[in-house]
Structure 1
Amino acid sequence: MKEINKSRLFLASCLALIVTAMTFAIRVRLETVFGPEGIGLTLEDLGYAFTPAFFGFTIAMIVGGPLVDLLGIKKILGVAFITHAVGIILTLTADSMTSLFIATLFVGIGNGMVEAALNPMIASMYTDNKTKMLNRFHVWFPGGIVIGALLGWLVMDVMGLSWQVMVSLLFIPLIAYGVMFLGQKIPVTERVQLGISNKKMFASVANPLFLFMVFCMFLTAASELGTTQRIESLLKTSVESPLLVLAFINGIMALGRLSAGKIVHKLKPSGMLLYSAIFTFIGLWLLTVTSGGMIFVAAAVFAVGVTFFWPTMLGFVAEYLPQTGALGLSIMGGAGMFSVSLVLPIMGRLMDGASGPGEALRTMSILPAILIIAFLGLNIYMKKRTNKVQA
């Protein structure tokens, strides 16, 4: 029987996540193409046009999660590849709010299918280091955003080429991950390995701790992705090139996730989440009162805060609630992206109004403020739970 090539599968997974991440960075740059200075859409219009990237992701995660066990990871990856390809082609031909909406929907579904398939695959391949390896896998979300942001800046701002050239660059990692996965033996999910029934899996997602984590995922994802997705508009009056700030933030995030193993060992997932919420809150407030070079200082604080949010939320569920299986990870990811689809139009409305970007950032800072309280409670609960088990 053909052996599972973990290193090749992990590399292919990283390439697939790079495609997902590059779409986020490129979408930020497309605000100037389709926005008030481009074809004339308002920032609120753009918020609605871009929401399918997030609710499409949510739909794919919620549908794809249970199907991962039923159909297998390989078939879900096939759907991801096809919808990614269609979404990129439609983006290249978009010329209105409606066509941009449809293109973004396909891209969002592709992104969601990538996460629906690969989060449980990595958890099943690295059962003894789930949080560490999920953080290492998710290095390539900020890493891919850095790549996309720098390429967007280079292609459009430095070389003066068209936005279609920038979007076409997505085909490179797309084809690469398709080739890397082709013909490989893919492992079954951990839930299948453990023999946990579908009935128990569906029942486990009603666990109070899991529901609490879903609520927190709404806030962590919105704090991170809601802010970074609209950074072009949020910082356009504060710094010359917001896209470079985006690259800077995600560069810090990538470096942080590479060192996640040591931090997880010292703080535990619940401790990482608490410190993340504190730094995110401070970073968002600093972004409202700084400009010029100091923006990068504020961005660094914000980046330290959001670095571990997404992968540690997933790692917590995979580690402490394994019976939720691929469904649990999909619900978490879907909840996170759905929350972003809700905040993007709200942020656009605030920025279109007289209050401007500062009010939008102050409003977003409410989310990590709530998370500080929530994760403080989670730390207390987990310590009591650990002490009870040890006793």
Structure 2
Amino acid sequence: MRLLWAGFMAILAAGVGFAIRGGIFDNWGKEYGFTASQLGAIGGAGFSGFCFGIIIGGVIVDKIGYGKLVAVALLCHILSAFVTFGASTPENAYNFLFWGMFIFAYANGTLEAVANPLVATLFPENRTHYLNILHASWPAGMVLGSVAGWVLDDNLQIGWKTQLALYLVPTALYAIMFMGQKFPKSEAAAKGASFVEMLKPVGILGALVACYLLALFFGDISKAFAPDNAATIGYAIGGVLLIAVGLITRFSLGSFLLFVLFVTHALVGAVELGTDGWIQNITGNLFTSEQGKYLFMWTSAIMFGLRFCAHWIESTLKLSPIGLLVVCAVIACIGLNLASTMETFTMALVALGVYAIGKTFFWPTMLAVIGDRFPQTGAVAMSIMGGIGMLSAGLIGGPGLGYCKDRFAGEELKKADAAIYQEYQAAKPSTFLNIPATAAHGLDGKKLGEAKDAKEKTPAQKTVVSADQRGDRATLKADSFIPATMAAIYLILLLFFKSIGGYKVIKIDEAAA
């Protein structure tokens, strides 16, 4: 139980940092003049770094032990603070914030490479319940981070660096809680399975999902030194990694079911974490900054409470983990559609409350399905899937919603008044996944911030603010298509399991047979 709560505290540190970062996006936009796409990219680094931490950690954790990885994560959490706090001017801020967030996320990923297989191993008969308890720490951290941001930013007006440093408190606590503990081995490692045997069920199909996202990541960071060939470099690195997996597994195709789960988890990362990264900014824009924080804390509190109830909900409604995921995807889709129409704070409480109920069980239940159905992969498949979810949030969800905000706000302002649009449009166009055809001009961050902050707004400023709000509603509407797609996939999986006699937990010997 101490190991369970140590893992809980580790993910809590990630949630605190994530919430505070989401609350100070507007500070960075005003101070450094970032566009929504640039802010989305910085926020995205807070996810993509996670991918490297969890995948690398998941590959080596059964060989080097959990304790050494906890020490690496602790050092990275401390280092990330020093790098992030190096941001001081508009010229250097982007790189310091981007890499500071990347290192922070790497530490978080390393910790999940420990916590997820650890809890799955400690509680093999009820993985869904205990993995949901473990991940209740994420919304708990977001509530604490939001409260801290509300008090320090809106009321005391403390600088953003002091606010962000608060995640170091739970960091110190998880280090103390893990200290001196004896760690178990996963079921696969205990039976002496080699890394190749653990990786074979992932195979070419599973690696294809991860390597595609890694190709996007390397292509994105290559823009800094080879803008004309960035995409080629990214896909070349992704291709090399895919071939390496093929050679290691002797070109095992892998499990098609695992491939489907990986693709679906990419959607989970985009809709859950990508939306979480922007929702406080969007609701603060539609209402007030203070109300935005209240709404963020409201949805996080719902998630925190419900994640302790996964077993009760499954047993009461007689749902398998896949059945639970079907219901959640439908509810999340309804919630985002309601959120796109919210005009009052009361309606926002209802709409975002529905969305929060829907998204609550996605992440930990998907991890439980991997543990239940693929025990022979040890920590490997679970860690790769977690990395895919975070990488998707960083490369697709966060930047994608930032792009939607830019595009829809620009289109709304252009429709309202083309002359004002010319005055307020950003100097650089925003694109999605570096696709030139998606280029669209958003609104300049500094000018938009001035329009929002003006106590007595000019007619032009009112037009700009109104267009920006309509763009946010259109963004939430577009976001709802992701859980709709997930619902269709989960329904197909539900029918598949029904056709083979129902969903059940399998042991390594059964998997081998």
* 1:360 paired to 2:475: yes
Q: Residue 50 of structure 2 aligns with which residue?
A: 57
* 1:89 paired to 2:73: no
Q: Partners in 2 of 1:115 and 1:62 — Cα distance?
A: 10
Q: How far is the alpha carbon of 1:199 from its aligned partner?
A: 2.6
Q: Residue 274 of structure 1 aligns with which residue?
A: 326
Q: Residue 416 of structure 2 aligns with which residue?
A: none
* 1:141 paired to 2:138: yes
* 1:330 paired to 2:330: no
Q: Partners in 2 of 1:236 and 1:26 — Cα distance?
A: 14
Contact 1:61–1:115 under 8 Å retained in 2:
yes
Alignment of 1:92-103 (within 5 A): 92-95=85-88, 96-103=93-100
Contact 1:233–1:357 under 8 Å retained in 2:
no
Q: Partners in 1 of 2:293 and 2:163 — Cα distance?
A: 14
Q: How far is the alpha carbon of 1:387 from its aligned partner?
A: 5.0
Q: Partners in 1 of 2:11 and 2:475 — Cα distance?
A: 29
Deviations 1:246-278 (A, max 9, x none): 111110001110111112332110011001100
* 1:42 paired to 2:32: no
Residue 155 of structure 2, aligned match among 147, 158, 168 = 158
Residue 117 of structure 1, aligned match among 99, 105, 114 = 114
Q: Partners in 2 of 1:82 and 1:207 — Cα distance?
A: 36
Q: Residue 296 of structure 1 aligns with which residue?
A: 349
Q: How far is the alpha carbon of 1:159 from its aligned partner?
A: 2.4
- CA gap 1:388/1:259 in 2 versus in 1, 3 angstroms: closer
* 1:349 paired to 2:389: no
Considering only aligned residues, what root-mean-square deviation do their CA atoms show, in Å? 1.5
* 1:171 paired to 2:168: yes
> Any gaps of 5 or more consecutive residues in structure 1?
1-6
Residue 300 of structure 2, aligned match among 210, 234, 250 = 250
Q: Partners in 1 of 2:149 and 2:137 — Cα distance?
A: 17
Q: Partners in 1 of 2:86 and 2:3 — Cα distance?
A: 32
Contact 1:145–1:250 under 8 Å retained in 2:
yes
Contact 2:325–2:362 under 8 Å retained in 1:
yes
Counterpart amino acid of residue 313 in structure 1 = M
* 1:67 paired to 2:60: yes
Q: Partners in 1 of 2:494 and 2:138 — Cα distance?
A: 27
TM value normalised by structure 2: 0.72
Deviations 1:151-185 (A, max 9, x none): 11111112222222211211211111111111211
* 1:306 paired to 2:359: yes
SS at 2:125's partner residue?
Answer: coil
Count of residue correspondences: 382
Contact 2:370–2:382 under 8 Å retained in 1:
yes
Q: Partners in 1 of 2:298 and 2:400 — Cα distance?
A: 25
Deviations 1:179-224 (A, max 9, x none): 1111211112222124333232111112111111001001112111
Deviations 1:309-355 (A, max 9, x none): 00000001101111122011111101101111122222212212324
Q: Residue 375 of structure 1 aligns with which residue?
A: 490
Counterpart amino acid of residue 143 in structure 2 = V
Counterpart amino acid of residue 217 in structure 1 = H
Contact 2:284–2:293 under 8 Å retained in 1:
no
Q: Partners in 2 of 1:117 and 1:80 — Cα distance?
A: 10
Based on CA coordinates, which of the two structures has the bigger radius of gyration? 2
Q: Residue 286 of structure 1 aligns with which residue?
A: 338
Q: Partners in 2 of 1:222 and 1:100 — Cα distance?
A: 21
Residue 259 of structure 2, aligned match among 190, 211, 216 = 211
Q: Partners in 2 of 1:262 and 1:101 — Cα distance?
A: 41
Q: Partners in 2 of 1:323 and 1:16 — Cα distance?
A: 26
* 1:259 paired to 2:309: yes
Residue 33 of structure 1, aligned match among 2, 27, 36 = 27
Counterpart amino acid of residue 150 in structure 1 = V
Deviations 1:122-173 (A, max 9, x none): 1111111111110110111111111111111111112222222211211211
Contact 1:123–1:190 under 8 Å retained in 2:
no
Q: Partners in 2 of 1:84 and 1:137 — Cα distance?
A: 20
Contact 2:127–2:368 under 8 Å retained in 1:
yes
Contact 2:21–2:164 under 8 Å retained in 1:
no
Q: Residue 21 of structure 1 aligns with which residue?
A: 15
Q: Residue 188 of structure 1 aligns with which residue?
A: 185
Contact 1:238–1:295 under 8 Å retained in 2:
no
Q: Please, which moves more after superposition, 321-330 or 158-167?
A: 158-167
Contact 2:497–2:503 under 8 Å retained in 1:
no
Q: Residue 4 of structure 1 aligns with which residue?
A: none
SS at 1:38's partner residue?
Answer: helix
Counterpart amino acid of residue 374 in structure 1 = I
Contact 2:280–2:295 under 8 Å retained in 1:
no
Q: How far is the alpha carbon of 1:121 from its aligned partner?
A: 0.8
* 1:316 paired to 2:310: no
Q: How far is the alpha carbon of 1:63 from its aligned partner?
A: 1.0
Q: Partners in 1 of 2:172 and 2:285 — Cα distance?
A: 38
Q: Please, which moves more after superposition, 100-109 or 182-191?
A: 182-191
Counterpart amino acid of residue 29 in structure 1 = G
> Any gaps of 5 or more consecutive residues in structure 2?
203-253, 413-470, 505-513
Q: How far is the alpha carbon of 1:388 from its aligned partner?
A: 10
Q: Please, which moves more after superposition, 37-46 or 17-26?
A: 37-46
SS at 1:242's partner residue?
Answer: helix
